[in-house]
Amino acid sequence: MKLTELLNIENLNKQGIIHLLSLRDEFETKLLFAKADKVRKKYCGDEVHLRGIIEFSNHCDQHCLYCGLRLHNKNLPRYRMSKDEILNTARFIYKAGIRTIVLQSGEDSLYDCSEIESIIKEIKNELNVAITLSLGERSFEEYKIWKDAGADRYLLKHETANPKLYSIYHQGDDLENRLVHLRYLKSIGYQIGSGNIIGLPKQTLEDIADDLMLLKKLDVDMASISPFIPSPQTPYGNETKANVDLTLKGMATARIVLKDVHIPATTALGTLDEIGREKGLKVGANIIMPNYTPNPYRQNYQIYPDKKCISDDPLACGSCLTLMIELLGRQVGKTKGHSLKKVLA
Ligand code: 5AD
Ligand code: FES
């Protein structure tokens, strides 16, 4: 089948997805990117939504083979931000005009459920924002308490749709369990975000195709397709970093397959390539997630090294990103930028 025909198929199958991910010819790749950009414009318009991230704890109980926050990394200074520090950062993000606050941490089971509940309540009470939680796997009771406290969204990447690789990367954990959590989060009314990492060791194009089909099946509201960056203090510290072009093809194909979802141009992509986020916004992405973690904590949220903007003053990021977005002929979204799937209050 000709590429132009393939790009017009409403529901691509796995073979079709693999075909798009394998494109090598420059002209054909351009056609893929142009199609993704068109689909993005149709479903998302020209607004780019900013989500302000607060990485409030880098403690983590898990052992993901690729992640610098893993429990066994004893070289990383650990921190927990206090409630007041988190609330002040949230106010700062609001003043910057951003209407989604992402509370992110490692899987820190010692950060108390009720403390998080009260942070959610105070933010929602004081500021007109949406809250995304990105705290890893917690108990179903906790998810429910935080939803009732006012949290809007939960971000939990599935990381890889290949159960064998999932179990290798996460030291015996079960992919199905992760999916049970995602389905539960959706069932109690969270908008859910998930996603995969491109370029992890042992991964094939077929695995990436399965990632995109899984995201479709989960009916996610947000899909993050981000590149692997080897992190020195981990077992995968000497592996090869992801290929930027393959990551962009993954994002573009995700846009074509998933259509009405939010797709971020990730910090990891901006870290691998100086203009990675701009490239991402041109091939289907419509979200940027600037980091507002205050100093001195920022440099210790080291999932991978040389994270984009790590040494920057958080103040500078807003204007820098606005300029980048406007230079692309797009606008910064002024609303909460809820799920594109349904209109929520
Ligand atoms: N490279 C890229 N992304 C990573 N993550 C963890 N480690 C790495 C790495 N080395 C991603 C995971 C996790 C998110 C917080 O960061 O997808 O869910
Ligand atoms: Fe942080 Fe540009 S996005 S300085």
For the Cβ of 308 lying below 6 angstroms from any atom of ligand 1, the answer is no
For residue 344, tell me if it sits in a domain. no
* CB-based pocket (< 6 A), ligand 2: 290, 309, 312, 316-317, 320-321
Coil vs helix vs strand at 32: helix
Position 310 scores a pLDDT of 62
Neighbours of 145 (CB within 10 A): 17
Whether 281 is covered by a domain: the verdict is yes
pLDDT at residue number 344: 47
What would the pLDDT profile of 76-130 be if each residue is shown by its tens digit? 999 999 999 999 999 999 999 999 999 999 999 999 999 999 999 999 999 999 9
Would you say residue 10 lies in a domain? Answer: no
CB count within 10 Å of CB 216 equals: 18
Q: What is the CA radius of gyration of the chain?
A: 19
The crossing angle, in degrees rounded to 10, of helices 83-95 and 113-126 is: 30
20 within domain boundaries: no
pLDDT for the residue 343: 53
pTM: 0.96
Q: Which residue spans within 119-203 are E strands per DSSP?
A: 130-134, 153-155, 191-198
How many angstroms separate the CA atoms of 72 and 162, rounded? 24
CATH number, domain containing residue 325: 3.20.20.70
Distance (angstroms) between ligand 1 centre and the Cα of 321 equals: 22
Confirm or reject: Cβ of 248 under 6 Å from ligand 1.
Answer: no
Residues of the chain with pLDDT under 70: 310-315, 342-345
What is Dmax (Cα atoms) for the chain? 59
- Cβ of 183: how many Cβ atoms within 10 Å? 12
In degrees and rounded to multiples of 5, residue 31 shows phi and psi of: -65, -40
Which two three-digit tokens encode residue 327? 């230079």
Q: Is residue 8 in some structural domain?
A: no
Placement of tokens 């901006």 in the chain: 270
Q: How many domains does the chain have?
A: 1
For residue 268, the ligand 1 atom closest to its alpha carbon is: 2
Beta-carbon-side half-sphere exposure of residue 38 (alpha carbons within 13 Å): 8
pLDDT in tens, 36-65: 999 999 999 999 999 999 999 999 999 999
Report the alpha-carbon distance of residue 199 to residue 209 in Å, rounded. Answer: 13
Question: Position 46: which residue type?
Answer: D
Q: Decide if 208 contacts 251 (C-beta within 8 A).
A: no
Which structure tokens are listed for 29?
Answer: 């790749």
Distances (CA, A) of 210 to 50, 130, 195, 205, 329: 28, 30, 11, 9, 33
How far apart are the C-alpha atoms of 40 and 185, rounded to whole Å?
A: 26
φ and ψ at residue 236, rounded to 5 degrees = -100, 20
In a domain, 185, yes or no: yes
Indicate which ligand has the atom closest to the C-alpha of 229. 1
- Peptide bond just before 296 cis, omega within 30 deg: yes
Ligand 1, closest atom to CA 159? 17
Classify residue 59: in a domain, yes or no: yes
Question: For residue 319, what pLDDT is reported?
Answer: 79
The alpha carbon of 8 and the centre of ligand 2 are apart by a number of angstroms equal to: 36
Residues of the domain holding 236 = 45-335
Any domain includes 289: yes
Query: Which pLDDT belongs to residue 165?
Result: 98
Q: Is 226 in the pocket of ligand 1 (CB under 6 A)?
A: yes
